[in-house]
Structure 1
Amino acid sequence: MRPKTNTRIALVQDYLKEWGGAEAVFETLTDIFPDADIFTTIYAPQFFGPHRPRLQHKWQNRVHQSFFKYLPFGYKLLSPLRFLSPLAFKSFDFSDYDLIITSATGAFFPNSINKKKAKLICYCHTPPRYLYGLATARDTSTLFYRLVNIPLQFTLHFYRLFDFKFAQNVDQFIANSATTASRIQKYYRKNSIIINPPVDLPNKPAMDGILSAQRTRDSGKAGGQPEGSEHFKMSSKQKFYLTGGRLARAKRYDIAVRACTQLNLPLKVFGRDFSGYQNELKKMAGPTVQFLGEITQEQKKELYSQAQAYIFPSDNEDFGIVAVEAQSYGCPVIGYNSGGIRETVINGKTGVLFDELTPKSCILAIQKFQNSKINPVDCIQNAQQFSRQNFIKKINSLVSSL
């Protein structure tokens, strides 16, 4: 089902100044509703990396920014000035719209908008992690943080009150996972429906190529590029492990780096640095750890198909798109048993989960994985439920029902 063609739709995102899972979801929403206007506090495509040309072309003449765009270095001031975000969202005029869909990453307060007569749907990636005691990207071990923590907690108390109030403005919450749905119920006292994020799975020719490569590996025969595969190489599995994504502290890539360093295992780390975390990782990394920086989607696909496993030590992850991406290319996942990963990885079948957020626990999981017989085909099949097509179908069905 498609929404009525005369329905005027607005799409709202906290900000558009980096690339991660939330931005990938938002891009799909803009594809589903190509005529919808886009509203955000600030738009800084220079930080989209290899995604910049595609997104600038798609979103040309569609993006409306708030007064943050007029501030010198506004993209750097978003965090300390987040208390102004309700004013930024309230400055937009939505009087001509029938439906507003907010993509709430938990950074700002997009549901503070004046929705007028419009219905408001919120696709919630998570309630703000920094308000409810969940791990964030910030370094809380510094002297500065310890000094400001007491007045900061006083401020956050009022933020929580405002966050709850703005959440009551929403007509329908969509949670990206059961983990997030439980948070929405706990902190907002609101029900939600679960629509998992869209994952860019291999198309059928590529899938046939992956399965053909797997059969070749299983039979022990050398093989070239399978017919019908995508442009990336369907190489044989190599000895390295893989981790990465948005290099933020809450993702706890330090666990993977320390574990592989202690085991003397090759580890490749990809992704863009966030708040200096990459430098911290480099200082603790041994000679077997390689940092690739930000990579293209094609490069990532090749790494997935080659890696022994993807290590995902994220602390209470909201969903974890990258863990599903890895499985879709036959790459098992070794992950911390918390949050959304428990909904996407089948322990013992498509990966190995560990129960303590420590290098030792991760090491034991890696060793358990090395002695297991996880079939990459099971990983591929498990990932199919999170397809882009399923996401589009569910979003269209929901919008049409309003």
Structure 2
Amino acid sequence: MKVAIVHDSVGEFGGAERVVLALSKIWPEAPIYTSFVRHGQFLEKLKGKRIITSWANNIPFFATKLHSPLRFLAPLIWGSFDFSEYDVVISSSSWYITKGWGNAQSARWNGRGSKGPIEFCYCHTPPRWLYGFDSPANKKNPFIKAYIAILAHFMRIYDFERAQKVDYFIANSENIKKRIEKFYRREPKVIYPPIETKTNRGNQGIKGSRGKERKYYLIVSRITGGKGIEMAVKAANRLRIPLKIAGSPSGYSQTYEWIKKNAGPTVELLGYVPDGELGTLYARAKAFLALQRDEDFGMTLPEALSWGTPVVAYNGGGYPESVTHGKTGVLFDEYSVEGLIGGIRKLGGIRVKSEDCRKAAQKFSSARFKKEIQAYILSKFSR
């Protein structure tokens, strides 16, 4: 079975990129096709992999500055790839409409009765900027927001048409399953994304990893608009509680500058933290904060839970799929600074067992992801 992997772009390293990394380990010979490459953490992690870029990667400043305003080029970019030599295409799709190379379960032919590749689209979310969800695009100035709104009207048509060509959709959560059903009128299979849990059993050995020794609240996120980071900073300032923020500035957002200007003495910006050091941060945190409105799924929540750390999260999007209110954390309903403060205080009034948190994280393990996605793809391919 000859496999190709396709992803939006190679640049920042977030949850979607962790899925691509996992897929490339399951199918190590599969090349990774992408629109453009920008030097960064993800490219370093793909060292040794065959990466095939589109013609747009040769446009000066496209990867760094022009890909967002020129996102209307997506049809030309994805239309330039030829996957006829492959049996299976696995597309990893979120913001850049990365899908549409299958035959939508139509008649096929080639030595095994196929006209072309079977496409499995692992959908992290239908593009948030197309369907009215919070995203960096709608946090920009009014002129850019107006441009994006006009562009989105036409790109939604293209997005829907590409979705109809996908043979099998895989949703990263029940939350995204509902979006796929609503916007694409397709029925996806839910396979949760992978997190590393196998080494986390030893976190009791990290000093300050349990009980009253846990001192600070933690956010792990790219620093950009729509993540709720400003809300966390305001809450930390008012409560005078220690807050650590791990992550690098992303895109054209002014969030990073806002934090530097408004953060009180208890707020600490850590910048990019390597995976090898994140475990210690998780294990020593009093609680992990997850605050994006309408979050697709949120892989950092089960990561925090796997280190025995409870979560305070907004009760929306995909967060309730990994956090059990009152057992592994707190879900608060009012999306505001006051709502967050209430959630933090409520967590202080309940007893959360680290072992319960770790158990809750096991259903998101990398081994489980590998087993489920291999079985699903092979079952459909062999039909």
Pairing partner for 1:77 from 44, 66, 72: 66
Which residue identity does 1:342 align to in structure 2?
P
Question: Residue 235 in 1 paired to residue 223 in 2?
Answer: no
CA 1:16–1:381: 2 relative to 1, 3 Å: same
Pairing partner for 1:327 from 284, 297, 305: 305
Question: Residue 15 in 1 paired to residue 4 in 2?
Answer: no
Which residue identity does 1:10 align to in structure 2?
A
State the 1:280 CA deviation: 1.5
Pairing partner for 2:40 from 44, 47, 53: 47
Tell me the SS of whatever aligns to 2:222. Answer: coil
The residue aligned with 1:160 is: 156
The residue aligned with 1:318 is: 296
The residue aligned with 2:315 is: 337
The residue aligned with 2:373 is: 395
Question: Residue 33 in 1 paired to residue 27 in 2?
Answer: yes
The residue aligned with 2:112 is: none
The residue aligned with 2:79 is: 90
Pairing partner for 1:109 from 81, 97, 102: 97
Which residue identity does 1:20 align to in structure 2?
G
* Pairwise CA RMSD: 1.6
Distance 1:268 1:155 in 2: 37
The residue aligned with 1:123 is: 122
Which residue identity does 1:117 align to in structure 2?
G
Whether the aligned pair in 2 keeps the contact of 1:86 and 1:112 (CA below 8 Å) is: no
Tell me the SS of whatever aligns to 2:331. Answer: strand
Counting only pairs closer than 5 Å after superposition, residues 249-398 of structure 1 correspond to structure 2 as: 249-274=225-250, 275=252, 276-398=254-376
Which residue identity does 1:18 align to in structure 2?
E
State the 1:143 CA deviation: 4.2
The residue aligned with 1:140 is: 139
Distance 2:155 2:235 in 1: 37
Deviations 1:114-166 (A, max 9, x none): 77611111000000101111000235363434xx52x5433311111111111
Tell me the SS of whatever aligns to 1:381. Answer: helix
Distance 2:290 2:148 in 1: 30
Deviations 1:243-284 (A, max 9, x none): 121112121111111111100001001101112321112222
- TM-score, normalization by structure 2: 0.91
Which residue identity does 1:183 align to in structure 2?
R
Whether the aligned pair in 2 keeps the contact of 1:244 and 1:253 (CA below 8 Å) is: no
Tell me the SS of whatever aligns to 1:144. Answer: helix
Distance 1:68 1:387 in 2: 36
Which residue identity does 2:312 align to in structure 1?
I
- TM-score, normalization by structure 1: 0.87
Count of matched residue positions in the alignment of Structure 1 and Structure 2:
363
Distance 2:379 2:45 in 1: 31
Tell me the SS of whatever aligns to 2:269. Answer: strand
80-89 or 187-196, which moves further after superposition?
80-89
Instruction: Give aligned-pair identity as a percent.
Output: 39
The residue aligned with 1:189 is: 185
Distance 1:31 1:170 in 2: 23
Distance 2:150 2:292 in 1: 28
Structure 2 residue runs of 5 or longer lacking an equivalent are 104-114
State the 1:53 CA deviation: 3.7
Which residue identity does 1:180 align to in structure 2?
I
The residue aligned with 2:107 is: none
Distance 2:377 2:271 in 1: 38
The residue aligned with 1:222 is: none
Distance 1:158 1:171 in 2: 23
Tell me the SS of whatever aligns to 1:164. Answer: helix
Whether the aligned pair in 2 keeps the contact of 1:100 and 1:120 (CA below 8 Å) is: yes
Which residue identity does 1:196 align to in structure 2?
Y
CA 1:307–1:144: 2 relative to 1, 3 Å: same
Tell me the SS of whatever aligns to 1:241. Answer: strand
The residue aligned with 2:172 is: 176
Distance 1:52 1:72 in 2: 19
Whether the aligned pair in 1 keeps the contact of 2:102 and 2:117 (CA below 8 Å) is: no
Pairing partner for 1:100 from 89, 106, 114: 89
